[in-house]
C-alpha cells in the first residue's frame, strides 16, 4: 500500500505497510507466525506471567490461536498497523516468544513495540535480543525515527528490557492499562482485572549507538545479522 503526501508542491512517496520479513540474529529468527507454532503459542499465552500482563483471552484456546495465526497477525501488516512476528531459536526452531509492532505512524515514522517471552525461554536475554534486532532493522533499513515501549509499572522484567536497550523513560500514563491478578480463589484458576500505570519509554536512533556492542561484550545476546 502506498500513499502520497504533497510537500511544497511536490509529492512524497511513503510506504504504509511493512514488508513480509524474516529477521535473524546469531541465536534467533523472527518470522511470520505459522500453523506449526500454535501448540507452543497456546502454552505461552496461558502461562501465568503472560496472563497477568498481556491482553488476550483467558484461557487462551485453540480457536484463539488459529484466529491469531490465520487472520489477526497477517492483517496487522496488510492494514499498515504494524507487524507481528514469532520469535524462534535459530538452532532448534522452537517458539520462544513474540515481538509485535503496532500503532505505527507512517508520517512521523514511529511505532510501538511489545514483546512476550515464553516461560521455557526466560533468562536467556531473548526479549532484549529480539527487540534490539527489530529496532536496528527499523532504524537502519526502514528509516524510522522513534520506537515507543509501554511497560506496566510493576512489570520489572519488561522495564529491564527497555533499560538494557538504552530507552529513555519519558513519563507515566496513570491507570492506562488493564492487567490481571489472582483472586483469593486463585487455586481454582480465578483471575480479576486491575488497573495499572504504564511507564512510557522512547528509543531514537542515537539512543541505540553502542548498545549492541555493549550487550554483545556482556554475552547477553547475538548480534543482528540480516533480514529478508
pLDDT higher than threshold 80 for residue 225: no
pLDDT higher than threshold 50 for residue 143: yes
Calculate the average pLDDT of the chain: 90
What integer pLDDT is reported at residue 9 of this predicted model?
42
Instruction: Give backbone dihedrals phi and psi of 166, rounded to 5 degrees, phi first.
Output: 85, 15
Overall average pLDDT of the 52-62 stretch:
95
What integer pLDDT is reported at residue 12 of this predicted model?
45
Give the pTM.
Answer: 0.88
pLDDT higher than threshold 70 for residue 20: yes
C-alpha cell at 133: 534486532
Amino acid at each position: 500500500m502506498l500513499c502520497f503526501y504533497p510537500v511544497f508542491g511536490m509529492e512524497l512517496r511513503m510506504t504504509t505497510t511493512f514488508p513480509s520479513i524474516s529477521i535473524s540474529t546469531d541465536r534467533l529468527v523472527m518470522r511470520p507466525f505459522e500453523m506449526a507454532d500454535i501448540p507452543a503459542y497456546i502454552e505461552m499465552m496461558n502461562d501465568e506471567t503472560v496472563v497477568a500482563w498481556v491482553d488476550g483471552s483467558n484461557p487462551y484456546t485453540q480457536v484463539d490461536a488459529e484466529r491469531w495465526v490465520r487472520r489477526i497477525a497477517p492483517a496487522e501488516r496488510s492494514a499498515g498497523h504494524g507487524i507481528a512476528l514469532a520469535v524462534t531459536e535459530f538452532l532448534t526452531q522452537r517458539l520462544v516468544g513474540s515481538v509485535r509492532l503496532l500503532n505505527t505512524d507512517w508520517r512521523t515514522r514511529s511505532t510501538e513495540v511489545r514483546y512476550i517471552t515464553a516461560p521455557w525461554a526466560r533468562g536467556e536475554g531473548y526479549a532484549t535480543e529480539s527487540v534490539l534486532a527489530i529496532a536496528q532493522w527499523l532504524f537502519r533499513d526502514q528509516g524510522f525515527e522513534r520506537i515507543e515501549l509501554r511497560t506496566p509499572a510493576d512489570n520489572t522484567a519488561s522495564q529491564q528490557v527497555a533499560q538494557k536497550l538504552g530507552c529513555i523513560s519519558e513519563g507515566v500514563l496513570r491507570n492506562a492499562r488493564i492487567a490481571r491478578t489472582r483472586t483469593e480463589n486463585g487455586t481454582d484458576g480465578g483471575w480479576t482485572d486491575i488497573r495499572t500505570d504504564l511507564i512510557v519509554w522512547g528509543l531514537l536512533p542515537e539512543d541505540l549507538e553502542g548498545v549492541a556492542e555493549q550487550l554483545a561484550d556482556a554475552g547477553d545476546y547475538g548480534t543482528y545479522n540480516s533480514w529478508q
